[in-house]
Amino acid sequence: MTAALPVLILFSSLIASLVTFFLPQTAHGTRNALNLGCALLKLGMVAFMLGEVAQGTIYEMRLPLAPGLDLLLRIDALSLLFVTLSAFLWLLTTIYAIAYFGTKPELSRFFGFFSLCVAATTGLAMAGNLISFFIFYELLTLSTWPLVIHKQDRASLAAGRSYLTFSLPGSAALLVAILWLESATGPIEFALPADLRAHGDASLRMIFALFIAGLGVKAALVPLHGWLPAAMAAPAPVSALLHAVAVVKAGAFGIVRVIYDVFGIALVEELRVGIVLAALAAVTIIWGSLRALQQTEVKKRLAFSTVSQVAYIVLGAALAGPFAVIGGLVHLVHQGLMKITLFFCAGVYQECADISEIRQLDGIGARMPLTSLCFSLGALGMIGIPPMAGFVSKFYLGVGGVQSGAAWVVAVLVASSLLNSAYFLPLLYRIWFRPVPVEGGSSGPRATPPGILWPPVITAAAALAVGLFAASAFSPLAWATLIVEREYLP
Amino acid sequence: MTPLVLDGPVLPLIALIWPLVLGLAAALPAIRTHAITLLPLAPLPALLLALVAMTGAGSGAETVVGFVLLGVVLGQPPLGMLLLGMTAFLWLAAGVYAVAYMRSARRPAVFTGFWCLTLAGNLGVFLAQDIITFYVAFAAVSLAAYVLVVEAASKEALRAGRIYLTLAVLGEACLLAGFTIGAAAADTLRIEDMRAALPQAPLGGLAGWLLLAGFGLKAGLVPLHIWLPLAHPVAPTPASAVLSGAIVKAGVIGLILFLPPGTGLAGVLVTAGLFGAFAAALYGLSQANPKAILAYSTISQMGLVMALIGAALTAGSGMEQAGFYAFHHGLAKAALFLSVGVVAGAAGGRRVAALGLAALAALSVAGAPLSGGALVKAAGKPVLAGGAGATAEMLMTISGITTTLLLGWFLIRLSREATPEGKHSAGRSDWRLWAPVLALSLGAVLLPWGLWSDWSGGLGPDYPWRGTTLLAAAWPVATGLAAGLLANWRGLVMPRLPTGDLAPMLERAVLTTIRQAERADTARRSLAQKTVTSPLPRSLGNQTGQLVARLEAALGQWRWSGLAALVLILVLAGFM
């Protein structure tokens, strides 16, 4: 029974998606119950697996697609890190989305693709070989597009177009990379590192570069990040999911897989591609922060902040020292919790107080204290102020950088922290210390429905807890350490 | 990672958690409006801890909390306990004072919450034995104090707060970088391991400078002091007292715990410290606001503390005496700050009595014979002589003259303060305003006597009574008084100079840069809308800003992005 868990977990989202497509728009109750039920079920299964995998169990499920082409689902500690994050945040985002949309039109389409998007993310996390990874990666690309253009206004359609113009060439690059690599080695499974030496150095570098270009589009590495800020036109729950779990994380996760499970640290080091990727990540970190500083819209600023923060994960993976890898992996979770909090709150501000520009935040703290508190916690965490989650990632990345002989990483982290302060602290100042503008006729913010009020409270509390109790046995840090000890250290 | 959940005495943990609990309790609706009355309760467990530890019971034991942060380790080292006791006592006195003084606080719950958070951080820096706990505590005391600074919400308070926060964040960044390098070198998170590993570590020298900058900023090391004379005076009086008396000591303990021996940093500390001791005292004479004068006195006194730390680093012993000096300064400076509120609200005999208490604390800071201040100076001088030479020792003695002048000037300005002070002036004869000033003044004068045998570095019980000691204490104060009287008689006063000395200049430079960048941004926007604008002055800053924005706009178009992607692939593949 438990051996089928990977498939069950995948199906929990897939079935929710398929059934939702055929529900009528007015069947709100059924649709909500179905989506919530599946999300809860999935979280339950994931929780059970956490215990098992911690003991050393590995789940595997193989489905032959064509001769020599298997769909392989495999759950190890690294997959489960990502699956757990997505299962937890899927539940919260579903609650948030239900309250956010209420009875607006086209909800069956929305929730159908929403679940499909999560199914794709889950599948991608569980993919055990390159071709399975590619299938789910593509499914993710396609299922996200209807979410981005959900409003169907001009801005959304343009954002959707931009998303596809970036994603499809990226996918092509990824496919070329996979085919090129496997042309000489045969199908590559993550658990059984193949000998890539059938290729020459130059080809391997080219293949690596194609991988990075293909995955870098989703991870929003500069200069492939243009679609992400544009995608802000999407509704708040989509932005939250996009920035915290689904799309950008898929790219970052893929890069981790490619470095550790396809090429292997030794080969990456030998080819000297790791340090170039680290430099690219560093450029992205600084560039994203600089651009964030120039934004005047709340969501745009958050979007560029994502560009910067996701590159931390890539940086950690590229540096390849144990501490750096732990820092990068743990940031996968930490950034997700903090960023989803920020986007949830931005959505609440937009819905209940019509705030989209930064200057409109003046004095909102006194009027929406709970939401503003969560926003502040998320922002402080992003800056890296302890004991919020962000500082753990930064500390590990910095120590890892020094240990890998790349002490410039510390300078990048410090510059990034300062830039983060420069673009987040003025927001907090406006929220808490500026007086409410006196404008005639404005009746203050509307009451916040509990469904969009509480999810950010939970994620903010989680972002605080994972930093404050980082050393406990159940923290993301402990899990990331376990991954590194188990899989990447001899 | 420590497998233990909780090990060792729990009192240190309670001392830290208790203020946080009170701070959270302040948010409860039932408590919110009277939250200020909680303030005196917050430092009580810490005070108890310090008293227990100072009497020798349980000292040396460590508290390990394995699951919090990256494994919290709290210890009770003697020097930490001395400063912890002073800090808790000071926060207690200021808390009692605040109950009466802050009756009309704008947002009592917010003030209470951040007061307690700052307090917890301030206590934590003396207890922490691992880098992460220290860093968390330091961030708490440093950043949460912002809310105390801007409590008045006036224009000056917000400006001072902005400068305070900017520099505090810069300081945090320096510390994070320093700690990262140190932790990588030490391979453990214990402070003493990191301190031992730094001198041989790659980039250890850089880390030392970063730590010096980060802690020096907090402790008011010239020239990193510029926020201090702006921030300390604008805060409400009890907050000024904790800022100047206790919070700057977070920087001091940081320097004591982290700076590695055997580097050039010790010399820098001695030089900058002694320079600051004189420069700040003289600049303070140009100030009119009594609290600003006290802030400069703090910079001056902290300069001496840091010179002592530098000397002790060189000599390899004497940190206890630096801590002893900081202990006395904390009590006396808090008494002086709190006396400002009492004097300003009292008239007649009460006013004279309050001025008398202030004068008592001032004399002690100046080091008048047989005061606590004379004792801590007597204990410090051999350290300075041993680690930095006879000249440094002489300079410390001479600094008594400038300190006397500065605090004399403070008393003059204080006596001229108009009555009543303002909206906070309810309950002038309130014992809660008087008792803290009395306790702190007497504490500053008398407590060093009780601690002399343990903290003087073995100078012997009769040392304070010797003729040479008394004379060395007496002549600078006498000279200072004579010079002050002479200046007063001749009507000599310093010209008024801006508070915060270098700060206004730097502030103008930064603001100009920001305005230019904003103007460039506006220009770019109007260009994008194809409207004709007048040519704008170009600076390097706005050109860079425009360049970034243009590049970004190009990357938003798929053809340029595609080209960039191709180039990226080639670069990744080819360059390596």
Q: Does A230 touch chain B (CB under 8 A)?
A: yes
Nearest residue to A337 (alpha-carbon basis) of A219, A474, A240: A240
- Percent of chain A at pLDDT above 70? 98
SS3 call for A429: helix
B535 Rama sector, left if φ>0, alpha if ψ -120 to 50, beta otherwise: beta
Q: Does A166 touch chain B (CB under 8 A)?
A: yes
Task: Looking at the complex, report in whole angstroms how far the Cα of residue B37 sits from the nearest Cα belonging to chain A.
Answer: 23
Q: Does A291 touch chain B (CB under 8 A)?
A: yes
**For residues B296 and B283, is the Cβ–Cβ distance under 8 A?**
yes
Residue B268 domain flag: yes
Residue B404 shares a structural domain with residue B521: no
The answer, yes or no, to whether ipTM is higher than 0.90 is: yes
For helices A369-383 and A408-433, the axis angle rounded to 10 degrees is: 160
**H or E element that contains A145:** helix A130-148
Q: For residue A202, which residues of chain B lie inside 8 Å, CB to CB?
A: 573
Task: Looking at the complex, report in whole angstroms how far the Cα of residue B3 sits from the nearest Cα belonging to chain A.
Answer: 9
pLDDT (average), residues A54-65: 87
Residue B417 domain flag: yes
Please indicate whether, in this complex, the C-beta atoms of B576 and A276 are within 8 angstroms of each other: yes
Q: Which of B68, B568, B569 minimises the CB distance to A471?
A: B68
Q: Does A392 touch chain B (CB under 8 A)?
A: yes
- Mutation pick from B28, B133, B172 vs chain A, by most beta carbons of A within 10 Å, is B172
Residue B425 shares a structural domain with residue B524: no
Task: Looking at the complex, report in whole angstroms how far the Cα of residue B104 sits from the nearest Cα belonging to chain A.
Answer: 18
Window A:201-220, CB contacts with B under 8 Å? 202, 205-206, 208-210, 212-213, 216-217
Residue B288 shares a structural domain with residue B437: yes
pLDDT tens per residue across span B225-234: 999 999 999 9
- Mutation pick from B68, B125, B176 vs chain A, by most beta carbons of A within 10 Å, is B176
Using the CB atoms, write b or e for B98-116: b if 16+ within 10 Å. bbbbbbebeebbbbbbbbb
Cα angle value A209/A211/A216 (rounded, 5°): 95
Q: For residue B570, which residues of chain A lie inside 8 Å, CB to CB?
A: 209
Please indicate whether, in this complex, the C-beta atoms of A202 and B570 are within 8 angstroms of each other: no
**For residues A369 and A363, is the Cβ–Cβ distance under 8 A?**
no
Residue B371 shares a structural domain with residue B242: yes
Number of alpha carbons in the 13 Å side-chain half-sphere of residue B133: 27
Using the CB atoms, write b or e for A130-159: b if 16+ within 10 Å. bbbbbbbbbbbbbbbbbbbbbbeeeebeeb
**For residues B66 and A471, is the Cβ–Cβ distance under 8 A?**
yes
Residue B320 domain flag: yes
Structure tokens at A407: 């002490």
Residue B387 shares a structural domain with residue B326: yes
Q: What is the DSSP string of B326-394?
A: HHHHHHHHHHHHHHHHHHHH--HHHHHHHHHHHHHHHHHHHT-TTSHHHHHHHHHHHHHHHHH-HHHHH
Q: How far apart are CA B113 and CA B36, in angstroms?
A: 9
What per-residue confidence (pLDDT) applies to B369? 92
Please indicate whether, in this complex, the C-beta atoms of B69 and A165 are within 8 angstroms of each other: no
pLDDT (average), residues B94-103: 92
Nearest residue to A463 (alpha-carbon basis) of A388, A373, A369: A388
Residue B142 domain flag: yes
pLDDT (average), residues B412-421: 77
Please indicate whether, in this complex, the C-beta atoms of B573 and A398 are within 8 angstroms of each other: no
Task: Looking at the complex, report in whole angstroms how far the Cα of residue B196 sits from the nearest Cα belonging to chain A.
Answer: 17
In which domain, by residue range, is B286 found? Answer: 6-458+483-490
Q: How far apart are CA A440 and CA A209, in angstroms?
A: 57
**For residues A225 and A309, is the Cβ–Cβ distance under 8 A?**
no
pLDDT tens per residue across span B294-310: 999 999 999 999 999 99
Residue of B nearest to A366 (CA): B107
What per-residue confidence (pLDDT) applies to B572? 65
Q: Which of A222, A398, A471 minimises the CB distance to B67?
A: A471
Q: How far apart are CA B466 and CA B469, in angstroms?
A: 5
Structure tokens at A298: 């709340």
Q: For residue A287, which residues of chain B lie inside 8 Å, CB to CB?
A: 548
Residue B473 domain flag: no
Residue B511 shares a structural domain with residue B453: no
pLDDT of B531 > 80? The answer is no
What per-residue confidence (pLDDT) applies to B512? 83
Q: How far apart are CA B484 and CA B182, in angstroms?
A: 48
Residue of B nearest to A420 (CA): B169
Categorize the per-residue pLDDT at B536 as very low, low, confident or very high, splitting at 50, 70 and 90: very low
Residue of B nearest to A416 (CA): B173
Query: Residue A294: phi, psi to the nearest 5?
Result: -85, -5
Residue B368 domain flag: yes
**Chain A to chain B, count of Cβ pairs less than 8 Å apart?**
157
pLDDT of A33 > 50? The answer is yes
Residue B464 domain flag: no
Please indicate whether, in this complex, the C-beta atoms of A212 and B555 are within 8 angstroms of each other: no
Task: Looking at the complex, report in whole angstroms how far the Cα of residue A471 sits from the nearest Cα belonging to chain B.
Answer: 5
**Looking at per-residue confidence, does B543 or A203 come out higher?**
A203
Categorize the per-residue pLDDT at B421 as very low, low, confident or very high, splitting at 50, 70 and 90: very low
Residue B526 shares a structural domain with residue B442: no
**What is the rounded end-to-end Cα distance, in angstroms, of chain A?**
33
Q: For residue B569, which residues of chain A lie inside 8 Å, CB to CB?
A: 173, 206, 209-210, 212-213
Residue B269 shares a structural domain with residue B344: yes
pLDDT tens per residue across span B243-260: 999 999 999 999 999 998
Task: Looking at the complex, report in whole angstroms how far the Cα of residue B207 sits from the nearest Cα belonging to chain A.
Answer: 11
Query: Residue A189: phi, psi to the nearest 5?
Result: -105, 145
Categorize the per-residue pLDDT at B515 as very low, low, confident or very high, splitting at 50, 70 and 90: confident
Residue B360 domain flag: yes
Q: Within 10 Å of residue A238's Cβ, how many Cβ atoms?
A: 31
Residue B451 shares a structural domain with residue B558: no
Q: Which of B1, B557, B575 minimises the CB distance to A276?
A: B575
pLDDT of B118 > 90? The answer is yes
Q: Does A169 touch chain B (CB under 8 A)?
A: yes
Window A:299-328, CB contacts with B under 8 Å? 323
Please indicate whether, in this complex, the C-beta atoms of B69 and A468 are within 8 angstroms of each other: yes
Categorize the per-residue pLDDT at B200 as very low, low, confident or very high, splitting at 50, 70 and 90: confident
Q: Which of A206-215, A442-451, B210-219 shows the lowest per-residue confidence on average (mean pLDDT)?
A: A442-451
| Number of domains comprising chain B | 2
Q: What is the mean pLDDT of chain B?
A: 87
Please indicate whether, in this complex, the C-beta atoms of B181 and A407 are within 8 angstroms of each other: yes
Q: Any idea what DSSP says for residue B69?
A: T
**For residues B146 and A433, is the Cβ–Cβ distance under 8 A?**
no
Residue B68 shares a structural domain with residue B186: yes
Q: How far apart are CA A229 and CA A166, in angstroms?
A: 12
Place of tokens 């100042």: A429
Task: Looking at the complex, report in whole angstroms how far the Cα of residue A202 sits from the nearest Cα belonging to chain B.
Answer: 7
pLDDT (average), residues B27-38: 89
Q: For residue A290, which residues of chain B lie inside 8 Å, CB to CB?
A: 548
What per-residue confidence (pLDDT) applies to B427? 46
SS3 call for B457: coil
Categorize the per-residue pLDDT at A103 as very low, low, confident or very high, splitting at 50, 70 and 90: confident
Please indicate whether, in this complex, the C-beta atoms of B173 and A271 are within 8 angstroms of each other: no
Residue B60 shares a structural domain with residue B190: yes
Please indicate whether, in this complex, the C-beta atoms of A402 and B2 are within 8 angstroms of each other: no
Q: For residue A395, which residues of chain B lie inside 8 Å, CB to CB?
A: 70, 132, 176, 179-180, 183
CB-based burial of residue B491 (10 Å sphere; 0-12 exposed, 13-18 middle, 19+ buried)? exposed
Residue B535 shares a structural domain with residue B417: no
Q: Does A27 touch chain B (CB under 8 A)?
A: no
pLDDT tens per residue across span A259-299: 999 998 889 888 889 999 999 999 999 999 999 998 999 99
pLDDT tens per residue across span B454-511: 898 888 889 999 999 999 999 999 999 999 899 888 888 788 888 878 888 888 888 8
Q: Does A276 touch chain B (CB under 8 A)?
A: yes
pLDDT (average), residues B539-552: 66
Place of tokens 């009746």: A443
